[in-house]
Amino acid sequence: MALASIIETAARRRTTIDYYGSSATDLTTQFAGRNVTIDAQTLPPDGPAPFVVIRDGDDFLGAVSETDLQTLLAPSISPPWRMDEAADEYRALYSLLDDTVFTSLDRRQLLAASREIEDRAYRVGQGHLSVGFQSHAAFDAQRAVYRRLASDTPLDIHIYVVDETQTDDMPGITIHVEPTTEIGHYWFMAFDGGDDPSQQCALVARQDGDTYEGVWTYDPRLVERVFAAVEN
Amino acid sequence: MTRENTPANRGEDDTQFDLSETATVPDPDVLFQALATTMRRRMLWYVLANAETTTDELADVLAGWESTTAGVVGPSEREEIRIELHHVHLPLLVAADLIEYDSEAETIEVAAMPEPVREIIRHARQYDDIVENTG
């Protein structure tokens, strides 16, 4: 299970989130990820608004207010070409928590993370974008987004689906019908960054009942492994 | 006035400073110079709220505090804060006798100071909030 091994690899990274605030936090529940440690420190109420400091081992990754962090955890969804001003802020947030394995992402959070990747691909405007859909219906729901991505850009888009789907009206998109169980169990997406390798990103999530365990990454080695897993 | 009868006389005492405690009484010019920047007001508030801290923790807190109005604060901005702490703010606050800094262990403690000085530090902090919320 090549896609599973990507989640396993990411899970070995240790992310620490130090919470500073005057009241209790439910971040521990929200970050019920296997590789995240939450430390809470209580500040007197006349101090700053609550914030978190995120680190990978001893390395400081970033500080962000709890309000902004919650935006990431309960995102609003905009299509890629409408993210504009919000995009940079989103990107900074996403990069703070890349390679963090979430054990309880819902569809909305995954959709938002997917939008971040689609937005990058749209902005870079060329390169290779591979996306897996767990069902015909899941692809249908995103058909308009992908039609727009394909018509506005020369992106090389590859869609992986488990069954035959109506594709005649989608020039610029290559459909791969992959009747393997792995494709059906995963929500995945990978973008190679086109001519800008720093824009590489990928998302892999495994469905578990109504929620997903998954990770997004900007690590070129992991992105490459997603492509390899999908193309094999 | 002794510490014991403070609560009973509170209303009356709120308006007058008691500097009779044994702690160092900072020179007013030095004290208000220490409080002259946002970063030092935040530092002093934090060391007052925590018995002991480290330069790394203080840099984290100041970066986080910044993020509450400025969005995500990344590693390079946090490094700038840490350098500024080391070269400017910590030496100044040590010289003002407001903090004690162990440069080897990189630990910071609030210096012994009379309650009125603590009050001034807390009020200076609150004033930042008031200005921010009305501005």
Tens of pLDDT, residues A179-207? 666 777 889 999 999 999 889 999 999 98
pLDDT, position A10: 85
Q: Name the residue facing B61 among A20, A62, A67 (closest C-beta).
A: A20
Higher pLDDT, A94 or A225: A225
Chain B residues in contact with chain A using a Cβ-Cβ cutoff of 8 Å: 42, 45-46, 49, 60-61, 63-68, 71-75, 78, 122, 125-126, 129
Residue A52 scores a pLDDT above 80 = yes
Which residue does chain A place closest to B48, by CA atoms? A44
Give alpha helix (H) positions in chain B. Answer: 10-13, 28-34, 38-49, 55-70, 75-84, 90-95, 115-134
A93 at interface of B, judged by CB pairs closer than 8 A: yes
Instruction: Tell me what the mean pLDDT of segment A153-157 comes to.
Output: 95
Percent of all residues in chain B with a pLDDT value above 70, rounded to a whole number: 82
For residue B11, the model assigns a pLDDT of 43
Q: Could A63 and B63 be called an inter-chain contact, meaning their C-beta atoms sit closer than 8 Å? A: yes
DSSP B112: P
Angstrom distance (rounded) from CA A55 to CA A188: 26
A93/B72 CB distance under 8 A: yes
Most A-contacting residue of B57, B62, B72 (CB-CB within 10 A), to test interface: B72
Average pLDDT estimate for B22-47: 91
What CA–CA distance (Å, rounded) separates B11 from A93?
Answer: 48
Instruction: Nearest chain A residue to B71 by CA: give it.
Output: A64
CB-CB under 8 Å, A59 with B75:
yes
Q: Which residue has the higher pLDDT, A51 or A104?
A: A51
Nearest to A60 among B60, B71, B122 (CB): B60
Q: How far is CA A154 from the centre of its chain?
A: 23
Q: Do B68 and A59 touch (CB under 8 A)?
A: no
Is there a contact between A47 and B60 if contact means CB atoms under 8 Å apart? no
- The region of weakest confidence among A131-135, A147-151, A156-160 is A131-135
Long-range contacts of the stretch B104-110 (C-beta < 8 A, 24+): B105/B54, B106/B54, B106/B55, B106/B56, B107/B52, B107/B53, B107/B54, B108/B47, B108/B52, B108/B53, B108/B54, B108/B55, B108/B58, B109/B47, B109/B51, B109/B52, B109/B53, B110/B44, B110/B47, B110/B48, B110/B51
Q: B25, exposed or middle or buried, with CB in 10 Å at 0-12, 13-18, 19+? A: middle
Element (H, E) at A127: none
Asked if B98 and B26 touch (Cβ cutoff 8 Å), the reply is yes
Q: Tell me the pTM.
A: 0.79
CA distance B6 to chain A (A): 23
Q: Give dist(CA A51, CA B63) in Å, integer.
A: 10
What would the pLDDT profile of B98-127 be if each residue is shown by its tens digit? 999 998 999 999 999 999 999 999 999 999
- Look at A60 and B72 and tell me if their CB atoms are within 8 Å: no
Subunit contact A48:B78, Cβ cutoff 8 A: no
Distance (Å) from the alpha carbon of A175 to chain B's nearest alpha carbon: 38
Predicted pLDDT at A166 = 62
Cβ distance B68 to A51 less than 8 Å, yes or no, reads: yes
Strand order in the sheet with A156-161: A102-105, A211-217, A201-208, A186-191, A128-132, A156-161, A173-177
Q: Which of B75, B126, B129 sits opposite A60 (nearest CB)?
A: B75
Residues A223 and A197: beta-carbon distance below 8 Å: no
